[in-house]
Structure 1
Amino acid sequence: MRLLHTSDWHLGQTLHNFDRTWEHQRFLDWLLDTLVAEDIDALLIAGDIFDNANPSAASQRQLYHFLQQARARLPRLDIVVIAGNHDSPGRLEAPGPLLSAHGTRVVGHMAKNADGELDLERLLVPLTGRDGEVEAWCVAIPFLRPGDVPRVAAPEGEAVDPYAAYMQGIALLYRQAYALAEARRTPGQAILAMGHCHMVGGDSSPDSERRIVIGGTEALPASMFDPGLAYAALGHLHLAQRVGKQEHLRYSGSPLPLSFSEVHYQHQVLRIDLDGAAARAITPLPVPRAVELLRIPAAPAPLKEAIAALVELDLPERPAHEQPYLEVRVLLDGPEPGLRAQVEAALQGKPVRLAKIEPTRRVGTAPGIEAALTLDQLAALQPDEIFRRLWQQRFGDDAPDDQLAAFAELMMPGEAGEVRR
């Protein structure tokens, strides 16, 4: 049996206000051709299908058209989709009955059965081989919120740590679901897991991956997966990687870079060949990049050097929707009011899309100025004094008179007696 693992499509995402529908469609078209060329039996999509919980109608059409085309080109293809932390579980599951009739199983959220217990049965998805017989069981677990997991009691005499209880509840749920699959399978059938979570040691992209838990440890241990698991198809981290150096625990990563911090990622999907109850081979399939991301200069450089690099930039002509996105990296000693105008002038007529100007400033703290203030000290300061201190911390000098005057004007009450913003 042959599977394909992908995740983190983020349909509907924009890159600094540039629409990326064409890039996503190029990926989906490539994926359709790949499913056919690789003769895939089951497609596992491990969450963050959409970029936000309220996706556009165009993004939803893009998804459903892909699912329809995949089933049309491979009539026996099983498709399993789980919700990620960017997705709306209810919105993703809403067309579930229709999709199920065409070979697609969607698991958006945890539900409870008539007894008020977590319904683990709905997490089990049978995967059929080329003869129509069940060859594997997929434990499809969506992104889990605190109310979705079993309660784990704290040791006697100890207070409940909500973050620790959340993580322990997730691990317990995975173990319970695996035990149910173990009871259901027959000899020779593999057990797979799908999840959208952050595993211990996983390398994340700080610019585009939303933290799952605020205020607590958010990484889960690889030990929550039973040793008998054939493969874990994970989503959330955009860099394709192994978990705990184990070949069968994998993030497929996102199929296209979602920020400039991902410019060097090797985007891919993963092909998994099963041999009975085990994964015989796991093969990365590189995803072609439809639009390049450029960072110029490669490292932040003084403005004159950065402008010179932009002037020398020589790119082939392309249609507007295929032109590279550009991040300009400039090292500044202080404010540069005309920065954008200078950058745009240097790029005049060049087939590139200016997505971001990233200024890096040399920071100097004047003697006698504290790097940080307590909340009580901060509360005792007037707004203009805070402004002066921040300016000194950022630029190592006193704030110019024109900047102080502009700040004072900003703070003047408006017509309704409120501060202008």
Structure 2
Amino acid sequence: MKIIHTSDWHLGHSLKGFDRHYEHQCFLDWLLVQLREQDVDALLATGDIFDNANPSAAAQKQLYRFLKAAREAAPHLRVVMIAGNHDSPGRLEAPSPLLDLFDTTVVGQTGRNGAGEIDLESLIVPLHDREGLRRAWCLAVPFLRPGDLPRVETDGDTYLAGVDALYRDALQQVLLKRQAGEAILAMGHCHLDGSAVSADSERRIVVGGLEALSVAMFDKHIAYAALGHLHLPQSVGGRHWVRYSGSPLPLSFSEIEYPHQVVVLELEGEAVKYIDSLRVPRAVDLLRIPTRPTPLPEVLAQLEQWTAAEPELPEERWPYLEVRVLFDAPEPGARVAIEAALAGKALRLAAIDVSYARVQRAANEGAGSLQGDLSRLQPEDLLQRHYQNQYGSALPEELLQAFQTLLLETGDEA
């Protein structure tokens, strides 16, 4: 049985105000080709299907058109999707009665039975091959909020204990059901301890005081753990079968170098025969010019010399640009100068990353004792200290006057 694991599509995402519908469509069209060429039996999508809990109509249409096309491309295909922390569990599950017709199972949240206990059966999905024979069981566990978990008495963190208990209880249910030769897969949308994070674009998951869960919660009976939330493809804890597939496209400039991909695996009986990856082609480039923050005159020179690798690109394929500038002090005319240097070039200015050459004073005056001085400092003093530390020079008189005017207008002056 052959499976593709993918995650963190973030349909509806925009990069600094630029809509990315075109890029997502390129990815989904490419994925359809892989489903056919790789002769895939099941597709696992591990959360953050949408970029936010209230996705646009266009983003929702994009998803459902893909599922329809996937069914047409591979009539035997089984799709299992779970909600991530960006998704609305209820909104994602709402079309389930219709999606069932396409052999698509969506799990947005844990349910409870009449006794108030976790409905484990709603998290357990059997996977059949194209002949209709059951080959595997999938623990389809979405992003877990405290209310989704069983109550566990523990001296440690109740959230971690609840997550561990839920996976353990669901696994026990499957072990009672499965026959010899049937593999067990687990899905999850979480942050595991020891994994690498993209700070710019991954929303922190902090529940119960914990930032990360233990990889040990994936029992030895689990042949493969398909994970979502982290955008960098990686295995965790030295276990090659516990994997984040990563996002299919970079969601911030910090992810330019990520090897965006989907994971392909094949099951043989109760074990994984092999695990491989397929690189996702990048439909639109993300550029940083220069690669490191540089003084404005040098930046402008580089921008003026830039020429497109493909001169006749349609606008939807123009690269996104982040300009990285190093200042000694604020320069109000910088954006205008940068935009002038880019005039007529096939680039979309998405961001200007500003850094300052900070002058470290010998004694770092006041830095160590600022907290104790707060009660004696006036707002103007705080602003002047911050400006000095940030830019290495004295606060300009016109800025100080403007700040004092604001204090007067807001009634904050003593």
- TM-score tier, shorter chain, comes to over 0.9
**Aligned counterparts of 1:243 and 1:249: Cα–Cα separation in 2:** 6
Partner of 1:68: 68
**Aligned counterparts of 1:70 and 1:139: Cα–Cα separation in 2:** 22
- How far is the alpha carbon of 1:215 from its aligned partner? 7.8
Task: Output the amino acid matched with 1:29.
Answer: D
Partner of 1:311: 304
Correspondences of 1:6-21 after superposition (within 5 Å) = 6-21=6-21
Partner of 1:394: 390
Q: Report how many aligned residue pairs link the two structures.
A: 410
Partner of 2:275: 282
Match of 1:266 among 259, 265, 278: 259
**Aligned counterparts of 1:375 and 1:222: Cα–Cα separation in 2:** 40
- How far is the alpha carbon of 1:338 from its aligned partner? 0.9
Q: 1:279 to 1:61 in 2, by over 3 A?
A: same
Does 1:52 find its partner at 2:52? yes
Task: Output the amino acid matched with 1:229.
Answer: I
Tell me if structure 1 keeps the 8 A contact 2:141–2:189. yes
Q: 1:341 to 1:372 in 2, by over 3 A?
A: farther
SS in 1 for 2:102: coil
TM-score (norm 1): 0.94
- How far is the alpha carbon of 1:380 from its aligned partner? 4.5
- How far is the alpha carbon of 1:197 from its aligned partner? 0.4
**Aligned counterparts of 2:112 and 2:325: Cα–Cα separation in 1:** 54
SS in 1 for 2:409: coil
SS in 2 for 1:413: helix
Q: Percent identity?
A: 54
Partner of 1:43: 43
Task: Output the amino acid matched with 1:8.
Answer: D
Q: Which runs of 5+ in 2 are unaligned?
A: none
- How far is the alpha carbon of 1:365 from its aligned partner? 4.7
Partner of 1:294: 287
- How far is the alpha carbon of 1:409 from its aligned partner? 2.6
Does 1:195 find its partner at 2:173? no
Partner of 2:344: 349
Tell me if structure 2 keeps the 8 A contact 1:365–1:392. no
Task: Output the amino acid matched with 1:389.
Answer: R
Correspondences of 1:210-289 after superposition (within 5 Å) = 210-213=203-206, 216-289=209-282
Q: 1:375 to 1:90 in 2, by over 3 A?
A: farther
Partner of 2:404: 408
Task: Output the amino acid matched with 1:129.
Answer: D
Tell me if structure 1 keeps the 8 A contact 2:233–2:261. yes
SS in 2 for 1:63: helix
Q: 1:127 to 1:390 in 2, by over 3 A?
A: same
Tell me if structure 2 keeps the 8 A contact 1:143–1:197. yes
Task: Output the amino acid matched with 2:100.
Answer: S
Return 302-311 or 352-361, whichever deviates more: 302-311
RMSD: 1.7
**Aligned counterparts of 1:101 and 1:373: Cα–Cα separation in 2:** 66
Tell me if structure 1 keeps the 8 A contact 2:159–2:207. no
TM-score (norm 2): 0.95
Partner of 1:89: 89
Q: 1:374 to 1:403 in 2, by over 3 A?
A: closer
**Aligned counterparts of 1:320 and 1:343: Cα–Cα separation in 2:** 19
SS in 2 for 1:412: helix
Does 1:171 find its partner at 2:164? yes
- How far is the alpha carbon of 1:141 from its aligned partner? 0.1
Return 110-119 or 311-320, whichever deviates more: 311-320
